Amino acid sequence: MKKDCTQLDDLLFDGSPLAMETAARHAEECDACAETLAAWNDLTATAQTMRAGWENDLLWPRIERALRAEQAAMPPRRDWRRSILRTAAALLLTAGLGGTAYYAVRVQNHDAAFDRDILRLSALDEVERAEQVHVTAIRKLEALAEPRLEQAESPLLVSYKEKLMLLDDAIAECQANIDHNRQNAHLREQLLSMYSEKQQTLRDVLREDTHGTNQ
Amino acid sequence: MTGMLHVPTASPSTVDDQRLANACASGDTRAFEELYRRFGDRMKSIAWNHLGNTSDAEDAVQETFLKIHRAATTFTGEASFATWAYRILVNTCYDVLRKRRRRIEEAPFDDALEHSAGAVDDLKRLALRKLLDGLAEQRRTVSTLFEIEGLSHAEIAAILGISEGNSKWILFATKKELQEKWKRSQ
């Protein structure tokens, strides 16, 4: 093979008219490359005649019928951009209506909560006023019982005195807790129970004293 | 490759392509008729050169039109509408060939070649047809589209989703392989 034979593949790969002309010039002087080039060109020439073509006047009507049948079977096609815009608008509207409804409910809830709070505070004030009356009554009893308790000599009076001191400590602690949470009904009940116990104990002190004096 | 005359591909402008795609998407039959008028002959030829008979080729072209109708909204305009349609057609042909292989039967060749122009005798065409049939799908398509249909490597690359250089290389390698067999068969 001649020196240029090694370049034949490059020329065939290039395939441009100039490259093929160069290959043809080389093939004139080289039998091996001439055979290769002849086969190469023969392939191309044969392929160029293989473009198929035939007339069939029925093909387009057949395709048209198939298209119409498919269109009839398919749901109406929508423009996706328009669909997106519609969806976005629907979402916006839903969000707007939802927001408005939420705001309305929230305001309503807020009003209801406000009403409930007012009622609760009003009830609380009532409870506290009743407690205050209770405490005032207890203090009157306490004032009456105090001299007797200070001079307590009988074991029963000493026991009452200790009990009242324990109740006072418990009442102070409960009151401190109520100051942190005025609406805690459980603590209020406990406090009421303690005040009632204290009231009863003070009455017992006064009764005991009267009973002792009468004896 | 050999200085063959490339048949110019109908390449409508981008605007025209988009108009055609939109019309097809909306189911406008006139748009499909325009598509058929402009590209139908080449579509039939590509299908025939993959499938080997007019009946299967016409079925493939019809199926391609239905697929275009279903998918026209996805046409992005990155390639020309013709290239996009040919891609659908080639894939449809591959589907038919795969089904045919599953059935393990060969569809007979018919006489569509009798309508071809040129003086090369039928024996050569038959020999080349057999050689092309023995190729892998991609090699066969590149050879068919370039050598028979006269598409450019850029168009083939767009149809097959490969690079232009790859298309050129596949064609060269395929022709080298065919050339040896061709020399032995002649």
Residue A33 exposure: Cα atoms within 13 Å on the Cβ side: 22
Instruction: Count up the domains in chain B and report the number.
Output: 2
Of the residues B65, B93, B114, which one is the last residue of a structural domain?
Answer: B114
Residue pair A51/B147 in contact (Cβ under 8 Å)? The answer is no
Give yes or no: residues B20 and B108 share one domain.
Answer: yes
> Which residues on chain B are in Cβ contact (under 8 Å) with A77?
25-27, 73
Question: Could you tell me if residue B140 is inside a domain?
Answer: yes
Question: Dihedrals φ, ψ of A49, to 5°?
Answer: -95, 0
Rounded Cα gap, residues B152 and B155, in angstroms: 5
CA distance A177 to B14: 81
Amino acid in the structure at residue B171: L
Tell me the nearest-neighbour CA distance from A8 into chain B, angstroms: 12
For residue B1, tell me if it sits in a domain: no
Residue A154 located in a structural domain: yes
* Closest B-chain CA to A47: B148
| In the block, residue with structure tokens 């203090």 | A139
What are B4-51's pLDDT values in tens digits?
Answer: 333 344 444 667 888 888 888 888 889 999 999 999 999 999 999 999
Burial of A164 (0-12, 13-18, 19+ CB in 10 A): buried
In a shared domain, residues B178 and B93: no
Residue at B142 is within a domain: yes
Q: Which of B5, B65, B116 minimises the CB distance to A67?
A: B65
pLDDT at B159: 94
A70 in a structural domain: no
Domain match, B37 and B103 both = yes
Of the candidates A206, A189, A202, A197, the one whose C-alpha atom is nearest the C-alpha of residue A130 is: A189
Asked whether residue B72 falls in the same domain as residue B124, the answer is no
CA distance A88 to chain B (A): 20
How many CB atoms neighbour CB A111 within 10 A? 10
To the nearest whole Å, the CA of A69 is away from the closest chain B CA by 10
Amino acid at residue number B41: D
Q: B79 and B59, same structural domain? A: yes
Q: Taking a contact as any Cβ pair under 8 Å apart, which residues of chain B between 34 and 73 contact chain A?
A: 36, 40-41, 44-45, 48-49, 54, 57-58, 61-62, 65-66, 69-70, 73
- Do B96 and B122 lie in one domain? The reply is no
Please indicate, yes or no, whether residues B18 and B73 belong to a single structural domain of this protein: yes
Q: Which two tokens stand for residue A215?
A: 């004896």
Cβ–Cβ below 8 Å for B45 and A56: no
Of A109, A207, A122, A119, the residue nearest A156 (C-alpha) = A207
Determine contact: B165 vs chain A, CB below 8 A: no
B20 & B52 share domain = yes
Is B4 among the domain residues? no
A52–B57 C-beta distance less than 8 A:
yes
Please, are residues B50 and B141 in contact by the beta-carbon 8 Å criterion?
Answer: yes
Is a pLDDT exceeding 60 seen at residue B1? Answer: no
Q: How far is B115 from chain A (nearest CA, A)?
A: 6
**Domains held by chain A: number:** 2
B125 shares a domain with B63? no
Comparing A62 with A73, the larger pLDDT belongs to: A62
Here the tokens at position A156 are 């029963």
The alpha carbon dihedral of B58, B61, B65, B66 has a sign of: positive
Q: How far apart are CA B162 and CA A92, in angstroms?
A: 43
Contacts of B59 in chain A (CB under 8 A): none
Contacts of B175 in chain A (CB under 8 A): 12, 40, 43
A102 or A111, greater pLDDT: A102
Structure tokens belonging to residue A55: 């007339």
| B154 lies within 8 A of chain A by CB | no
Q: Which domain holds residue A22?
A: 3-47
CA angle, residues A111, A113, A119, in degrees to nearest 5: 105
Say which of B36, B112, B172 has its CB closest to residue A13.
B172
Q: Is residue B178 part of a domain?
A: yes
Interchain proximity B128–A9, CB inside 8 Å: no
Mean pLDDT, rounded, for B147-171: 94
Whether the per-residue pLDDT at A121 is higher than 90: the answer is no
Are residue B173 and residue B102 in the same domain, yes or no? no
Q: Say which residue, A210 or B64, is predicted with more confidence.
A: B64
Report how far apart the first and last C-alpha atoms of chain B are (Å, whole number): 21
DSSP run (H or E) holding A48: helix A31-48
DSSP string for residues in A136-162? HHHHHHHHHHHHHHHT--SHHHHHHHH
Reported as a single tens digit per residue, the pLDDT across A128-183 is: 888 888 888 888 888 888 888 888 777 788 888 888 888 888 888 888 888 888 77
The pLDDT value recorded for residue B7 is: 39
Residues B24 and B76 in one domain: yes
Same domain, A120 and A29: no
Range of the domain at B166: 117-186
Q: For residue A99, what are its two tokens?
A: 């927001």
Greater confidence (B120 vs B142) lies with B142
The complex's ipTM works out to 0.81
- A75 in any annotated domain: no
CA dist., res. B170 & res. B166, Å (int): 6
